[in-house]
Amino acid sequence: VARYTIPNGSAYTATKYAVQGFSGSLAQEVREYGIRVGTINPGMVDTFFAESKQGLEEKKDWLKVEDIANAVVYMASAPKHMMIDEIVLHPFVQNYPISIK
């Protein structure tokens, strides 16, 4: 989840902050052309991230790739008068703001 720090994750955390800053600036630059820019910030997702395997038992309650795809569709299909700056989503089993076990 973006904008939260984790131990031993300084480089990873820095990239998340960078994406937020880039997206915010880009949104301001292209707004006059009717282009909307937003971010989707997921928590734990069942993927191959960090040399992990997909579909492991401990990941059964994590977000699925389809959950993120649905968030993208929701953001992209919002009415033209609506701006969604960001969507933050995480699995119910994940402590919020973040807790990686």
Give the residue numbers marked as catalytic.
12
The whole model's pTM is what?
Answer: 0.79
The reply to whether 100 falls in a domain is no
Contact present, 54 and 62 (Cβ < 8 Å) = no
In the chain, the number of structural domains is 1
The reply to whether 40 falls in a domain is yes
The reply to whether 49 falls in a domain is yes
CATH of the domain at 65: 3.40.50.720
The reply to whether 72 falls in a domain is yes
Q: Please enumerate in sequence order all residues whose Cβ is within 8 A of that of 45, keeping only pairs 6 or more positions apart, or say none.
A: 62, 63, 64, 65, 67, 68
Tell me which residue range forms the domain holding 74: 10-89
CB atoms near residue 63 (< 10 Å): 21
pLDDT tens digits for 29-48? 999 999 999 999 998 898 88
The reply to whether 29 falls in a domain is yes
pLDDT tens digits for 36-86? 999 999 988 988 876 677 677 788 899 999 999 999 999 999 999 999 999
The reply to whether 4 falls in a domain is no
pLDDT mean over 8-21: 89
